[in-house]
Amino acid sequence: MNVASGLEYLGFEAGKDFVCIDLSDGNGPYLAEWYSDQPRPSDAAIAEAVTAYERQWETNDYQRQRAVTYWPLADQLDAIYWDKQNGTNVWEQHIEAVKNTFPKP
Read off the pTM. Answer: 0.65
Report the residue count for the chain.
105
What are the extents of the domains in the chain? 3-59, 62-101
Within its chain, how far is the Cα of 18 from the centroid?
Answer: 20
pLDDT, tens digit only, all 105 positions of the chain: 689 999 999 999 999 999 999 988 888 888 999 999 999 999 999 999 999 999 999 999 999 999 999 999 999 999 999 999 999 999 999 999 999 999 998
Round to the nearest angstrom and report the end-to-end CA distance of the chain: 25
Instruction: Decide yes or no: CATH 3.30.56 for domain 3-59.
Output: yes
H helices within the chain, ranges in order?
3-9, 43-59, 61-69, 73-86, 90-101
Neighbour-count burial of 1, counting CB atoms closer than 10 A to its CB (0-12 exposed, 13-18 middle, 19+ buried):
middle
